[in-house]
Structure 1
Amino acid sequence: MQQKDIKRLTLYLLFAPFVLWIFLLILLPHIGMVILSLREKIAPRVYEFGLGNYIDFINEPIYWNTLLRTGSMSLLVTALALIIGFPIAYYIAKIAGNRSRGGLFLLCLIPLWVSDLIRAFGWILLLRETGVISTFLLSYGIIETPIEFLYNDAAVVVGLVYTVILFMIVPLVSTLDGMDNSMIEAGYNLGGNSFTVMRRIIIPYAMPGIVSGCIVVFMLTAGSYLTPILLGGKNSSWFTEQIYDQFITRFNWESGAAFGFLLLAFTSIVIWLGLKLSGQTLANTVAKS
């Protein structure tokens, strides 16, 4: 066997697990979901292909209102994660010393050491009527009666930001770490203040990391299930709850598949619009971040 053939075989073996992962766990399930969503049940165990499941979604306002509400809430969580995460990422990448960076990253990783379920129950212990925050305020006379901080949109937003903020910080740190400090110094030497340097130099340079982080955070937030259900309760409808209801409660897998594909299409359109508005491309964003 020639050296060229050995290199080619090695390349195939290295990429084989990745290709199998993409095909078996991403492409094949999505193809099956699309096919399943196009099946209409006309009699027991009798199906025909059509768009009835999508028509039912359009004709029921609660479904597409919930989808739009999920999208708007996910955008809010993404914006808050960016506002909170950018200063943290900038401090880690440009201000913190080499020794403290590892410790700061470790602090950011700690929430990922436990599952989403445990993190959600942690927030429940803090925010419930007899929880830590309400008890603290009551003991110091700040409030007269216990307050229920759970089961509203604010609790859901707080829980989701806490869950996804690391996925905003990591690409921002990766992008900002490659920025030459002389660019910032030049901005100040040319008479720019902190706001001007941030707006004209730092943010444009970090834009690939910003877009990459926003994409990951938005997709994770829109597809979240446990946090909205546990922290929002019945007062905070999330589209993933509608998907779960179709699959598990109603045993209507055809509608559940249609709803899942609609969520994927909706989030993809939002990301495409975000890339167009930011002037970025997906390839450049992923490559630079």
Structure 2
Amino acid sequence: MNQRDARRLSLILLFMPFALWIVLLILLPHIGMGVLSLREKIAPRQYEFGFDNYIEFFTEPIYWHIMARTAVMSLIVTALALVIGFPVSYYIAKIAGPRTRGAMFMFCLIPLWVSDLIRAFGWILLLRETGVISGVLQWTGLISEPIELLYNDAAVIVGLVYTVMLFMIVPLTSTMDGMDDSMIEAGYNLGGNGLTVLRRIIIPYAMPGIISGSIIVFMLTAGSYLTPVLLGGKYSSWFTQTIYDQFITRYNWESGAAFGFLLLIFTSLVVWIGLKLSGQSLSSTVARS
């Protein structure tokens, strides 16, 4: 075996685990779900291929209303995560020293040390009628009786922003860390103020990180199930809950698979529109961040 063949074999062996991961855990399940979504039940244990499961979504207003609501809420969460995460990322990348940077990254990682279930119950302990926040407000005299802060859109948004914040901070920090400080200094030397430097220099340079972080946060939020259900309660209308009901409650796997694919197509369409409006491409965004 010559050196070229040895390099090729090494590359194949290194790539094999990733290829198996993609094929076995992503590609084949999606193919199976796609086939399942095209099955129409015409009698007990009798099926034929068709698009009735997809037509059901478009002919029932409640389904696409929940889909649109999920998209709007996910965009709100993404925008809030960006507004909160951008200054944190800038501080970590350009202002903080090595020790402070490590400490801040550690604080951002702490929420991921526990499961989504524990994090959601933590918010329940804080926001419920007999929870910590209600108790403190009563103790300070700001309210006269317990207040329920759970089971509304605000609670769901707060819980989701807390959950996905790290996935916005990391790509933003990675992108802005590569920006030369002299670019910022030049902006000030040319007479720009802080707002002008932010708008003309920092944000354009950080745009790949903004887009990649927003894509990750949006997709994670739209596909979230546990947090909206626990913090939104019976008033929560999240499309993943609709998919869950089709699979588990109604045992209608065909419609559940179709709804899952529709969620994937819809969120991918939103991401594509965002890339077009921002003038970015997916390949360049991922490469820069």
Q: TM-score range by the shorter chain?
A: over 0.9
Percent sequence identity over matched residues?
A: 77
Give the 5 Å matches for 1:1-289: 1-289=1-289
How far did 1:285 drift?
0.3
For structure 1, list consecutive stretches of 5 or more residues without a partner in the other structure. none
SS in 2 for 1:136: helix
The TM-score normalised by the length of structure 2 is 0.99
Amino acid at match of 1:198: L
SS in 2 for 1:40: strand
Q: 1 CA distance for matches of 2:58 and 2:270? A: 19
Deviations 1:245-273 (A, max 9, x none): 00000000000000000000000000000
Q: 1 CA distance for matches of 2:26 and 2:195? A: 43
Amino acid at match of 2:11: L
The list of structure 1 runs, each at least 4 consecutive aligned residues, that deviate by more than 3 angstroms after superposition, is: none
Q: 1 CA distance for matches of 2:240 and 2:98? A: 42
Q: 1 CA distance for matches of 2:221 and 2:40? A: 30
Q: 2 CA distance for matches of 1:246 and 1:121? A: 25
How far did 1:215 drift?
0.2
Q: 2 CA distance for matches of 1:139 and 1:79? A: 34
Q: 1 CA distance for matches of 2:23 and 2:212? A: 23
Amino acid at match of 1:135: G
Q: 2 CA distance for matches of 1:2 and 1:216? A: 43
How far did 1:167 drift?
0.2
Q: How many residues align?
A: 289
Q: 1 CA distance for matches of 2:284 and 2:270? A: 18
SS in 1 for 2:210: helix
Q: 1 CA distance for matches of 2:93 and 2:248? A: 45
How far did 1:236 drift?
1.8
Q: 1 CA distance for matches of 2:102 and 2:137? A: 35
Q: Please tell me the root mean square deviation across aligned C-alpha atoms, in Å.
A: 0.5
Q: 2 CA distance for matches of 1:120 and 1:192? A: 44
Q: 1 CA distance for matches of 2:204 and 2:34? A: 39
SS in 2 for 1:280: coil
Amino acid at match of 1:217: V
Amino acid at match of 2:70: T
Q: 1 CA distance for matches of 2:99 and 2:133? A: 34
Amino acid at match of 1:185: E
Q: 1 CA distance for matches of 2:181 and 2:139? A: 49
Q: 2 CA distance for matches of 1:70 and 1:201? A: 33
Q: 1 CA distance for matches of 2:97 and 2:188? A: 22
Q: 1 CA distance for matches of 2:104 and 2:140? A: 33
Deviations 1:107-144 (A, max 9, x none): 11000000000000000000000000001111121101
